[in-house]
Amino acid sequence: MWFKRKPQAQWAQAPEPETAAPKTRLSWFEKRDRRRRRRKLFEEILGWILVPALIYLVYLGIRAVGGVPKEIVDFGNEIVGIVLKGGR
């Protein structure tokens, strides 16, 4: 005989099937919490991409015009003045 058989004590034992815990359904509160968590993550990632892109586009627009027009600077000064006075 070419191959000698292993004794039964050395045979590979089949793993015992694990008793799976019964799957519990998520409550509406847990589902809502997971949706909120995913949405907040998506909004954060989107914010990290869109905000720098918008700032860069404003910068390009200002460079294309050749600087900030005087009317915009005057309007900004008026708004700041109104805010600092506390109204009218």
Domain assignment present for residue 1? The answer is no
- pLDDT tens profile 53-85: 999 998 898 888 788 888 888 888 999 998 888
Number of domains in the chain: 1
Domain assignment present for residue 2? The answer is no
Range of the domain at 56: 28-85
- pLDDT tens profile 5-56: 777 777 666 666 677 667 788 888 898 998 988 888 889 988 999 999 999 9
List the structure tokens of 20: 């799976």
CA 50 – CA 42 distance, rounded (Å) = 12
Domain assignment present for residue 56? The answer is yes
Q: Is the pTM of the predicted complex or chain greater than 0.85?
A: no
Q: Are 68 and 62 in contact (CB under 8 A)?
A: yes
Domain assignment present for residue 16? The answer is no
CA 26 – CA 23 distance, rounded (Å) = 9
- pLDDT exceeds 70 at position 88: no
Domain assignment present for residue 5? The answer is no
Domain assignment present for residue 69? The answer is yes
Domain assignment present for residue 11? The answer is no
